[in-house]
Amino acid sequence: MDKVVMMCRHKLGNEIIRKCIECDGARGFPLKRCPRCPALYCSRICQLEAWKNHHRENCSWYVANHAPLPEDLK
């Protein structure tokens, strides 16, 4: 399944589990969100790697095909 589809809103009961979409972890740092979509990153390194590998295209597609982000993901 595409990482953009799976990213950051995996649910376990009512609990929202937030993870970095690049490394699937948090590395002990606060997660930062992409300003355009729900993608979360644990570090600048993961953000840059994701941008090179897949996020540039996925983010543009997400913005073009989805309603604005729900408040609980901002």
CA distance 36 to 63: 7
Tell me the whole-structure pTM to 2 decimals: 0.61
Report whether pLDDT(46) > 70: yes
Task: Compare 22 and 27 and report the one with higher pLDDT.
Answer: 22
User: Which of the two residues, 25 and 21, has the higher pLDDT score?
Assistant: 21
Say if CB 23 and CB 2 are below 8 A apart: no
34: which residues sit within 8 A by CB, 6+ positions away? 40, 41, 47, 55, 59
